[in-house]
Homo-oligomer: A and B are copies of this chain.
């Protein structure tokens, strides 16, 4: 009898412990807003006019406007970091587990904001607002296409700065983001050292090295291989969906992990009745997964935006414009918590460790927490980000 009661108490305790995850989701419906800059001059000196980007916010801006956390999105991502647009939405924003009352980015305390980048990929996603090659160039009345200026991660950050300024925000408690989002966080710390108090770049690094550049080239070339890409001139015609889907497939593999792939799909066939031994077109399940996922996503992506985004990541280097990497590191005043994923094969953890060392050597304050993840690059975007929860909370509380 006592034993049973003990078990019941234990069960009740376990249920109580698991409640926060269920209870603390961000409840208010999320609204997409638009910000417009009459004109913007890129780091490379090119003029884009106007520039429009979308953004969404969670929680409330306090009177002194200094409780702001900025979440920057990854390569293929959008500003939909958390919450739901409608009660019927099946899934919330991608980092929802981190955002909400009592969560790491606590919406009872912080005003959390996320912004669609300049040149967001997902131009056909109705919730995305961005300016890029698919945008109508007012000078010609036609999409910019490949005449759109080359943009960099620094440009994304500078547009975000203007947006925040328009909201009267002059200080950021923290800038964070996964992958390309983390690159933006680092650029923020170097470009606006007096604005940013803390940064948490997840599965990210301070500059693209050859390995990352190689993959970016391959993601971009996959699109260019499609004859329908036509040198970037495809607007109003059939778009290079096969090229985009193929690029997505390669991207999926590089952000995925062998353990996850092997566990989920093993050597299973796509169709039980069709052995891959019997015909070239008979697929394994993992092939079908790649095809379906990639094709479904391709429909929302602008081909040229993908190519411009790959270029932006290739060009990512906080040293650019500041004389050198070392000079840029010296500018950083924000406290830094780098959060790589141990099994990431796109951006290896050593980039994070080296950056931490460089910041500390320059007199800054940086630390690293490696997520013990089997999920590869995805470990930081979705899979295992909550394994960093204790470190994130401690870093924000410091």
Q: A residues touching B (Cβ–Cβ < 8 Å)?
A: 44, 146, 150, 152, 207-211, 213-215, 217-218, 221-222, 225-227, 242-243, 246, 249-250, 253, 256-259, 261-262, 264-268, 276-280, 283-287, 290, 307, 311, 314-315, 317, 320, 345, 348, 350
Contacts and interface: CB of A to CB of B under 8 A. Distances in A.
Contacts of A152: 277
B311 A266 contact: no
A268 B213 CA distance: 11
Contact of A209 (B44, B214, B258, B283): B258
The 6 closest A-B pairs by CB, nearest first: A210-B265, A211-B258, A210-B286, A209-B262, A210-B261, A211-B261
- Secondary structure type dominating chain A contacts: helix
18 contacts: A207-B267, A209-B266, A210-B261, A210-B284, A210-B286, A211-B286, A213-B286, A214-B261, A215-B253, A218-B250, A221-B249, A222-B225, A225-B243, A250-B250, A258-B348, A259-B350, A277-B315, A280-B307
Given A225-B246, A276-B315, A267 B210 contact: yes
Contacts of A258: 209, 211, 345, 348
B225 A280 contact: no
A290 B218 CA distance: 9
Given A277-B44, A277-B150, A213 B267 contact: yes
Contacts of A261: 209-211, 214
A259 B350 CA distance: 9
A154 B221 CA distance: 35
